[in-house]
Structure formats: structure tokens, C-alpha cells
Structure 1
């Protein structure tokens, strides 16, 4: 393919969109028309259109063609405050019952879950499904045997190479495939802690970690997490000086719920603290590849003391339905594999090999190139709607990657009440109280921009704004 030809067409259409020849919602000329008008091959035209779609300038609609996508440019917004005590103490964990309901409803990543049942699969997932099905057909007699506990050698080799390119000193033998990232986090905490130990966590932080702490009989020390830069390391140092912290669970890149991105210097300081106070770090690396700009290397890439256990998964970047995750640790690999034998024995062989082939053939990176610009556009549209169409000002995070937005409502609004009212109308949000083991963030909510803002989801956002207006007037 002539690089100049497809880039020339891409630039031409991009300039026409920016100059207003094609307005948001306009249908671009058909592929056949562009082939005839430009004197190009169908492959060249398609490549130019796919690149424009990956940039978020246009969108493909099944059986309809390519359309100019609205460009949302949100105004600057106030970031939520880190409104918890600066001298945390250990607390036992008791997870709210609402968490269980949300986990059963896909963890509220879709404000209108019924809307997703009517949407076509994106091209990347269609290719992934075909790849997984092909690997299943190839199994033949292997379906009668368990896979080795560490997981598919092919998948571990591929993942190890990807992490090496990010600066991690990792070999495939240090990597164990798990049933999602939650199991990886479970294995890491099982290796590091015993019942009653103290674990530092981000606050607000991932409620899945709180569930694990409760199940393992561990106590949480909540460290304030800034919506922009993440965990407050000064407070962590004060807590480590006072309490015997055994582990620190942290998501350096786009932590849920805030979307915070820990700066490089803070990452280095965190490793210094781990060495100084002799605790280990459990790195949740699940969102890092969803950076709107270039992703930062994992925290483990900076680790030279074996202090970091890295946990990852494809559930947020690719598909929640394929429960494929991993945990990386040279020091703890034998114990991790023993725990896997005890708890789940093995992971689906054909699913692992399907994912490995999808990554190796370039399908995964192509999927990310298309998916990430869409996420950024969906984030902008969500922020714009909140700013201009909701009845009250809200402080909002503006994450530079990941999947979720953290909103701070007026102090007198109880997000649990908002959740209950919205749930009556089949609208799902995640109330802030779920992201803490203490009584914090009652006036905060998390909303995801994972899915396109179609008619149903836009309507759900407007209804949610109306619910907030009603509660605000009480």
C-alpha cells in the first residue's frame, strides 16, 4: 500500500472536517464514491477511514457508512477534594451489600445496562471471538487435560515480551496466568499477608480490594488519594512510621474511581518508602494501556529490590467476559502457582491460546488504537453533559486514561439515596461510599464512559440529572 496515498486522503478528509465542510452527524461519501473520485483502491480508502475513526473524527455505523463524530471540548472543571482524615488508622473491612449487587450487574460500568444488548460488537472483539473459536477447534483431544498451573507458555512468552519493552525485568517463568485480575490480587495478598495484618490502600480506592481484605481478615489503612496524582505519599510515610504495614495496594495508572495518574517521581518515592519501611507493593496494572497519550511504564519497571508484585488483565482493555489475568513475581512465583493449584487448578487452555494469537497477530494493538480515541471522546461528552445539562455544579476528575469519572456533589446530597432512586429506573451508578471502608465520600459518585453515548445512555444521564435536582431541593 502506498503510504502517501492513504495519508493524503486522511489529511484531506481531516482538513475538510475541521474547516466545516462536513458537519457533525454528516455522512461521508461512500467507499465506492471515494474510490471513484480519488482514483484509489478500496484498501487504501478503507485504511484512511480507519485511521480517521481511530483518531475519533468519524465513526462507522453498520450498514450505513462513516459519519462525522461530534467533538466535545469540556471546559476546565474543579477537581474533587481528597476529603478524608490525614492521619489514618487501621480499620476492619466490611463491604457494603450494594457492592455485591453492582458486581452482579457488571460493576456499574454501564449507566444503562439494557442499552448494550442492542449494540453490535466492535471489529476487534469480532476478530477475537473468531480467534478463540479457532483455537477451540484445534484442541482435539487436549480438552480432556488440564493446562499447566502457570498457564499457556505461548501467552506467558507474549506477555513477558510486552512487559520487557516497557522496561520490566521479567521472564515468562515469573508470570502466572490467573482467572482475571481479582484472582491475581488475591494471590498477591495471600503471599504477603496473614490474618490481622495491615494493608495500605488508596482512598477512594477499588472496592474489589476491600472485598479481598474482608475475606482474608486483613485491616485497611486508607491513604488519601488525590484525583490527579494518586496516593498521598507523605501520609503513607506517616502511617508506615506508626503502623507495621505489610503491603500497599496501588493502581499507579488511572486508578478507579478517580482516574489518577501517579507521576514518575512519586512512583520512585513509593519504592523508596517500601524499602525504608519494609513493605511490599501490589501493583494493579489493569488500566495502564488505556492511556490517552503514551502509557507510562509499570511501577515494576522501576523496581530493583523485588518489592512489587504486578497484577494485570485484559478485562478492561478488551473483554470482561474472557477471564484472563496474570500475576508477575520472581520471588513469589512458586507460592503463587501453589495457590492456583489449590484454588482453581488451571485456566482454560483454548481461551488463553486464543488471546495469545490475537495479541501476536496484532489484533490487540489494532483494537487499542481504535478503542482509546473513542474512550477519550466519550469522556469529553460525559463531562460536557454534566457541565451544561445538569442542574448543579459538580467537581469532576478529568482522567487522562482509564474508564471512569469521579464526581463530587454538593455536601448535603447522599449518593446512596441517588443510587436507590436511579436504580428504580434501571439506571446504575456507583455511590462513593463503596470506595472506602470508613464513612467517607457520601456525596461522591463514579460514572463510567466505557460505552458509547447512544440515545438510551444519554437519556439515562438526563434522568440522573433530574434525580439530582429533586434531591437537591429536599
Structure 2
């Protein structure tokens, strides 16, 4: 076993060395790489170890071989940097997919430990039990078994109760939100969102022609009741979008008193609430009550997704609503062909059998350990440059530069060094949070994280004032 671990380390070291050579060569044209023997002699390793590292890079499409000539770095198309025609969010998306990029902004908690494998195994077992269902048996709002389990999971009292007919399952979260925008007729209407807000939600609302008013959260993720009441009196607000308990990307928890105050205020104004429940499973105080526990259930919709805590094999989004049944069923039926009935059954078994809760307990602990490691590094290396909002859950850390720097400059400098960050301006449509960053340790090894944090510090200190 010891020898195996040593061999694993050697080929990984050779792999990292080669990726650095490829990165140094640039992406504009193909560059010849050292031969197997040259590299073996240079690094004092076996030829077979070098060959294995090259084979991994070939599978990734980063190198190719020519008989009797050797290995070459694969030329990659040049990517535009900020300021050259693309907006920053598009630049983040495009460059995150490029090989060799070090992503310091990833918000994919399940990547740390997913339930993809158990889910697929359970799906195979169910396929042996259930024959393929005829199309006419497909449930328009999702599989009844999964809707029943979700309704029970979200029921907290005789007042705040849900039934299977109140649950609608879509192919993904984006599709669910698009349906809600259509059914609630939000085009041209005024919607209030807490800020910072998830960029997917912001861009969907913007694309649909929704008038978005941002309600900035105070320190600690607190909602200012006076500012909210002033908005509700002054504006004709069709809907307000709020987090259920854990507000991301800050990772802050609304206090119970603040939630009760906000719920009472919304009830007095008869405001419809769309509750974002995507992150509540990462709340480390698992007994925390949700915002919906104090809201009028007849003026409430709740949405979430499985992907954050199960993994990529469970991309389904869902919404709970007591109203608009006919319209919601019609819209979800149009997209029902994209849903796998057996996979929905498998998710229901994970939820109903307790496996999901066991997994979440482990995942919350692992996420906290990784966040703690990142926060400690940030305090040691960048304590003089950043203020850290201590998160209470999730995969990310929200920080603010103590000096008003040009974050666009920081972003561009790091992008040239193949590092991706998420500037705070991505989480606002109105230019808020210009001096903030969302950072994440996911996907980076310990040594790599130390190096990347050091480069972030350099970029922040060298950036001009905003």
C-alpha cells in the first residue's frame, strides 16, 4: 500500500509539472513537449510514470501525440478577457470550463461528496422492479412518490402543511424559475429581492423584463424592517424573494426575531413571498425554523433543487404552491418528457429512507472543515486586506476588501494567472457589492489553495483604487 501511494504521488507530480509546462507555453499555438526519456531523466522518474501522466493529459484533450515525433500541447482557442466585449459573468462561465483553470469561486457543495453513485445504484434496482411506464402514465407534475415525500418533508404543522398536489417537479431549477415567471405574470411587474442574490435568479428576472428592486442585507444578513416597510408602502410590489434561513452567498442566518418581524410586516401588507430554499439543508443549526413557518401559507411559494446536495445526477428543481394549480400543471406537463420517472423514484427512496439526512450530516461537516481551512488562510495571509463574513453553512465565504479596489482589475489579473474568482458585482443588477468577493475552497488541494490565496493577496494589493 505504501508503494502504491508513493507511485500515485510521483505520477501526480509529473502531471502537475506537465500542466505547468503547457500553461507556460500559452494557448495560441501547439508546442512540442519533452519526450518520455527526456522527462524521465529530468525528473528522475520511470518512463512508465511519465507515459501514464501523458496518457491522462491525452484523455483530457490537453496534449496529442504524433508517431515518431512526440507529444504536443493542444492549442486552445483564445478567450476574451473582461473589457473586450463579454460581460464578466459570461467570462466566468467560459473560463471555468477551460482545462488548467483554478476555480476559487465554485458553489457546488455536492462536489465534495455526492450521492450520485448510491442514486444510480438504487435506480438500477428500481428498473428491475418496474417496467418502463407508458407515456400516458407519466405524472405531469412529477412522480407521485417523490411529490408525496417532499410534501411530508416540508410540512411542519397543521397550518403549514403541504400535499402531493401542491408539489411540482421540473427538469432543473432554471426551468422551474422560468415557469414561475410565466405563471405569476412577472414581466413588467416589480419584484423585491434580497441582495446579494444568486446571479442565475437575477439574470432570469432581468431577461424576462421584470423590474427588480434590491434590498441590501445589513451586517450579519439582517433584513432592515424599516427599509422593507418603506419599499412596500412606496412601490406596487408583486412579489418578494427571500431566503428561507441561510442567505447565500454570505452564508448568514437570519435571527428568529428578524424572521418573525419580516413575516409580520409582509403579512400586514399581504405581500406574496417566493422563498428560496436551495441552501437550507446546509444550515449547521439543523433545528432552525424557516421563514415560511411565520408566513401566510396562502401567499407563499417555495422553490429548491436537489443538485446542490445530491449531485449532478439529480438536477431536478421543484416548487411548492397552494395556488395556480391548472397553470402550473400545464407548464410542467409541457416539460415532463425531460424527467426520468425511475430516477425520481430513486430520489424519493433516498429522502424517505433516511439516507439523505445521513449524507447531509457528513456533507455539512466536510464543508465546514474546508471553509475553516480557507478562512484561516485568508486571515493569515490577507488579514490586512479583507474583512470576512463568518458563514453559518454552505460552501463559500463572502469577503470585503478593506480598501476600495477595482475588482475588475483583480479579476483580470487573476484570470491571466488561470485563477477564477467571483466578484461581488455579479450578485447585483444595480452595481452593489463592488468591493466584495465570493470565495470557495472546493476543487483545490491544500497546497494549491495556499498558492492561489497568495496570488489573490498580490492581486488585491496591486490593484488600483476604485
TM-score of Structure 1 vs Structure 2, range by shorter chain: 0.7 to 0.9
Q: Give TM-score scaled by structure 1 length.
A: 0.71
1:100 pairs, out of 90, 100, 108, with 90
Distance 1:404 1:233 in 2: 27
Query: Structure 1 residues 120 and 103, CA, compared in 2 at 3 Å: closer, same or farther?
Result: closer
Q: Which residue of 2 aligns with 1:277?
A: 269
2:453 pairs, out of 443, 451, 461, with 461
Distance 1:336 1:389 in 2: 51
Larger Rg: 2
Q: Which runs of 5+ in 2 are unaligned?
A: 1-85
**For 1:46-96, what per-residue CA distance to the aligned partner results, in whole angstroms no more than 9, with x for missing partners?**
xxxxxxxxxxxxxxxxxxxxxxxxxxxxxxxxxxxxxxxxxxxxxxxxxx8
Distance 1:365 1:451 in 2: 24
- Asked if residue 156 in structure 1 is aligned to residue 117 in structure 2, the reply is no
Shift of 1:124: 4.2
1:394-405 matched pairs, under 5 angstroms: 394-405=386-397
Asked if structure 2 preserves the Cα contact closer than 8 Å seen for 1:358 and 1:364, the reply is yes
Q: Which residue of 2 aligns with 1:134?
A: 125
Q: What's the secondary structure of 1:306's corresponding residue?
A: helix
RMSD: 3.2
Q: Which residue of 2 aligns with 1:195?
A: 187
1:48-63 matched pairs, under 5 angstroms: none
1:304 pairs, out of 296, 300, 324, with 296
Q: Give TM-score scaled by structure 2 length.
A: 0.72
Distance 2:118 2:87 in 1: 37
Q: Which residue of 2 aligns with 1:112?
A: 102
Asked if structure 1 preserves the Cα contact closer than 8 Å seen for 2:146 and 2:348, the reply is yes
Distance 1:297 1:198 in 2: 28
Q: What's the secondary structure of 1:221's corresponding residue?
A: strand
Distance 1:455 1:461 in 2: 10
1:366 pairs, out of 358, 369, 394, with 358
Distance 1:157 1:234 in 2: 39
Asked if structure 2 preserves the Cα contact closer than 8 Å seen for 1:394 and 1:409, the reply is yes
Query: Structure 1 residues 361 and 305, CA, compared in 2 at 3 Å: closer, same or farther?
Result: closer
Query: Structure 1 residues 418 and 295, CA, compared in 2 at 3 Å: closer, same or farther?
Result: farther
1:53-452 matched pairs, under 5 angstroms: 97-103=87-93, 112-113=102-103, 122=113, 124-136=115-127, 138=129, 140-142=131-133, 147-165=138-156, 168-343=160-335, 347-390=339-382, 392-450=384-442
Distance 1:126 1:133 in 2: 11
Asked if structure 2 preserves the Cα contact closer than 8 Å seen for 1:205 and 1:257, the reply is yes
Distance 1:451 1:165 in 2: 36
Query: Structure 1 residues 368 and 305, CA, compared in 2 at 3 Å: closer, same or farther?
Result: closer
Asked if structure 2 preserves the Cα contact closer than 8 Å seen for 1:149 and 1:346, the reply is no
Asked if structure 2 preserves the Cα contact closer than 8 Å seen for 1:111 and 1:460, the reply is no
Asked if structure 2 preserves the Cα contact closer than 8 Å seen for 1:230 and 1:255, the reply is no
Shift of 1:267: 2.1
Asked if structure 2 preserves the Cα contact closer than 8 Å seen for 1:201 and 1:221, the reply is yes
